[in-house]
Structure 1
Amino acid sequence: MHFLIVKLSSIGDVVHAMPAVAALRRAFPTARLTWVVERVAAPLLLGAPGLDEVIVLDTRGWRRQWYRREVFRQAADCLARLRRHPVDVALDFQGLMKSAAVAWYSRARRRIGFATDALREPPGRLAYTEQVTVSPSEHVIRANLRLVEALGVAPPETYEFWLPPLEDEAAYVAGQLSRQGITGRFALLNPGGGWVTKRWPAANFGHLAELLWRQHGLASVVTYGPGEASLVEQVQAVVREAPVVSFPTNLREYLALAQRATVFVGGDTGPLHLAAAVGTPIVGLYGPTSAERNGPFAAADKVVGLDVACRTDCYRRTCQQHICMDIAISLVAQAVGDRLRALS
């Protein structure tokens, strides 16, 4: 039996598909599992246990340089690998036209995707032989599990996340923390986010760092992604006494950093979901997206958000008002305190 897993991106979405794929492996321990993923999220899967093959696409890069012979060679190689081992079942966890096309191209006899009303691009339904109904309000991890339940897979009691070995990354992180004087507990603060509407003001993280230092003796490590270095500067600009440091990390180094953190604070972005996957205590700041659907899943984790009418089914990437992220610093500090007390 050969299962093709199609979950291309984003980072958080790939993390949210891991428990379903882990459950599939437990139900079919001798099956072949192949995961198709975009280059940006591939480091999360390459070397991860439980997978027989990872096929890495770079559709963004290919579109930018479509005229180059090397691009045609890379794309042709990926297409050939899709058919190298006959696929019995393709599972499209993405719900896009391109992910549905990957499932269809594999020639799998069974191609399973979500019901049409749950697809981000409904025409993708034409590629499926079966569709699975999910509730729009249930957590995305639970929705993903419904795809494998269509194959008779029992839902797991606890979520399992496949992650690659991180020994080298842990050594890098330990060295960086030591050089910057962070020897004890620290909070992991993430002011960034792919959507501007998901961001809590960067300066607020600096004021929060001061409170965490005074109230809990927590230093702070500020993380950032490509193009977000200015956010770190905004955080540090308002800090007076608290130890606040920052250093660059790739995806795997970030995972190693999150494993050492006492608590994570940030919005609904990839770093939050990565931290949740390694078991870091979470305080999530939610505005345009639903914590019920995309939030942290540990019972003790905390979510902070405002009760404003326009948040319902918002999911806007831009907004003229953006009042949903006007969350008071005191509310976030209180949530962190509550989460820390739950640890003891």
Structure 2
Amino acid sequence: MTAGTVLVVRPDSAGDVLLAGPAVRAVAEGARQVVLLAGPHGRAAAELLPGVSRVVEWRTPWIDPSPPPMTGPHALRLMRAVQEAAPELALVLTSFHQSPLPMALLLRLAGTPRIAAICADYPGSLLDVRHVVDEDVDVPEAERMLGLARAAGFELPPGDAGALAVRRPLPEVGHLTGPPGYVVVHPGVSAPARAWPAENWTRTVHDLVRAGWRVMVTGGPGERALTARVAGGRPAPEVVDGGHVWESVADLGGRTTFAELAAVLAGASVVVVANTGPAHLAAAVGTPVVSLFAPVVPAARWAPYGVPAVLLGDQDAPCRGSRARVCPVPGHPCLSSVPVARVVEAVNHLASVKEVVH
């Protein structure tokens, strides 16, 4: 398919945007330019996606975790941005529990001539390409979105296997991390139901250092208290490399941009992280992941995609499939039951896998 400007809509979190990467590349292969509509939580990830020509930001009231009021002026801001982009086609990418129809209505009012989406509900005249999938079958989100792109007539370029990816080159971060070969520990999450206890993260860092690893503790600006606690739980020895002295534990909380975080993850042997955006960012830079995965959403859909991974956590716990943001089960057993020793064991296993692959 050959198209002019195509609008791809994915107004969710950074991880959701990264998972849209294969679909975006398929569209870019057959379009003159791709404009990606993202929310504020996903914009930085959108700007890293290969194939994206321009990013438009709009907070989507039925998607954003802290939604703005759905007012006429707010809707007009989106409609004006869409009219300026003048797409001849829009792909509305959603997760299985989201409806594309509110966005399709606004795009239609903005004059978008063709709209494609996965939709179980009757769309009337809101969609031109209604792609129906069996939502009882758990398909990885990246493949689900790529399926919509194919239904709309777009295919990945020859030689593109459909893995997650980011633009290269990434920023230089050696001044933060020292040489490659460390482990990244990312303790923060966007929803409490997905969190592993902070004291477990602290013990993991300590035990990784005892096992001979350098550890980078990463997090966003709002997670500095958590990363300081996790990184500073115990005094650590120093490692000497080439005349430079590198601390065994570095607290990088709030010290990186999203692109710099991608570079930090790319230099790691393994990333230890819950089900949150950096898990997908690690996959996008090809680094193995120890995934502390709460089953509030299906791992078959949202586990790290396309890289070696060890999935930890009771996937049959009572919270399974609840989509809860706060754990509904006292004691948070699905993750609190994961022993620190199992995490360290998984790190050592995946590090050996990465050495074999590279």
**How high is the TM-score relative to the length of structure 1?**
0.83
Greater mean deviation of Cα atoms: 122-131 or 288-297: 122-131
Amino acid of the structure 2 residue aligned with 1:151: A
Q: 1:329 aligns with which of 321, 334, 340?
A: 340
Change beyond 3 A, Cα 1:281–1:299: closer
CA deviation after TM superposition for structure 1 residue 82, in Å: 1.1
The counterpart of 2:206, out of the listed 189, 194, 210, is 210
What CA distance in whole angstroms lies between the structure 1 residues aligned with 2:305 and 2:32? Answer: 29
2:266 paired with 1:267:
no
- RMSD of equivalent CA atoms: 3.1
Matched, 1:90 2:53: no
Deviation, structure 1 residue 200 = 0.8
Gaps of 5+ in 1: 117-121
The one-letter code of the counterpart of 2:230 is V
Alignment of 1:60-139 (within 5 A): 78-94=78-94, 95-96=98-99, 98-116=102-120, 127-136=126-135, 137-139=138-140
Tell me what 1:119 maps to: none
Identity of aligned residues (%): 23
Q: For structure 1, which segment, 6-15 or 31-40, has the greater mean C-alpha deviation from structure 2 after superposition? A: 31-40
Do the aligned residues in 2 keep the contact of 1:92 with 1:103 (CA within 8 Å)? no
Question: Does the CA contact (< 8 Å) of 1:209 and 1:219 recur in 2?
Answer: no
- The residue number in structure 1 matching 2:243 is none
Quick check: 1:195 aligned with 2:198? no
Instruction: Decide which moves more: 190-199 or 30-39.
Output: 30-39
- Show the counterpart of 1:258: 265
Q: Point out the more displaced range, 271-280 or 221-230.
A: 221-230
Whole-Å separation in 2 of the counterparts to 1:124 and 1:234: 50
1:232: which partner in 2?
227
Alignment of 1:281-292 (within 5 A): 281-287=288-294, 288-292=296-300
Q: Is there any run of 5+ residues in structure 2 with no aligned partner, and where?
A: 238-247
1:55: which partner in 2? 56
Partner of 2:240 in structure 1? none
1:221 pairs, out of 207, 213, 216, with 216
Match of 2:313 among 305, 313, 318: 305
Sort the Cα spacing of 1:49 and 1:277 in 2 relative to 1 into closer, same or farther, 3 A. Answer: closer
Q: Which residue type is aligned with residue 255 of structure 1?
A: A
Change (3 A) 1:50 1:186: same
Matches within 5 A, 1:145-156: 145-154=146-155
- How big is the shift at 1:154? 4.0
Q: Structure 1 residue 102: deviation in Å?
A: 4.2
Q: Which residue of 1 aligns with 2:162?
A: 159
- Secondary structure of 1:175's aligned partner: helix
Of the structure 1 ranges 41-50 and 297-306, higher mean CA displacement relative to structure 2 is found in: 41-50
The one-character-per-residue Cα deviations of 1:19-52 (angstroms, maximum 9, x if unpaired) are: 11102222x1x53322111233222333754233
Equivalent residue number for residue 176 of structure 2: 176
| Separation in structure 1 between the aligned mates of residue 92 and residue 141 of structure 2, nearest angstrom | 14
CA contact (8 A) 2:317 2:334 kept: no
- Shift in Å at residue 113 of structure 1? 1.3
Mapped to 2, the partners of 1:311 and 1:47 lie a distance apart of 33
| CA-CA distance at 1:300 after TM superposition | 2.4
What is the TM-score with the length of structure 2 in the denominator? 0.80
Write the deviation string for residues 275-323 of structure 1: whole angstroms up to 9, x where unpaired. 1111111111111232211011235222112254414323211124221
| 1:194 alignment partner, SS class | coil
What is the identity, as a one-letter code, of the residue corresponding to 2:117?
Answer: G
Within 2, Cα distance between the matches of 1:63 and 1:154? 34
Equivalent in the alignment of 2:251 = 246
SS in 2 for 1:39: coil
1:10 pairs with one of 3, 9, 13: 13
Q: Which has the higher helix share?
A: 1
Cα distance change on mapping 1:126 and 1:174 into 2, 3 Å: farther
| Change in 2 beyond 3 A, CA 1:124/1:39 | farther
- Separation in 1, partners of 2:350, 2:125: 46
> Is the 1:224–1:232 Cα contact (8 Å) retained in structure 2?
yes
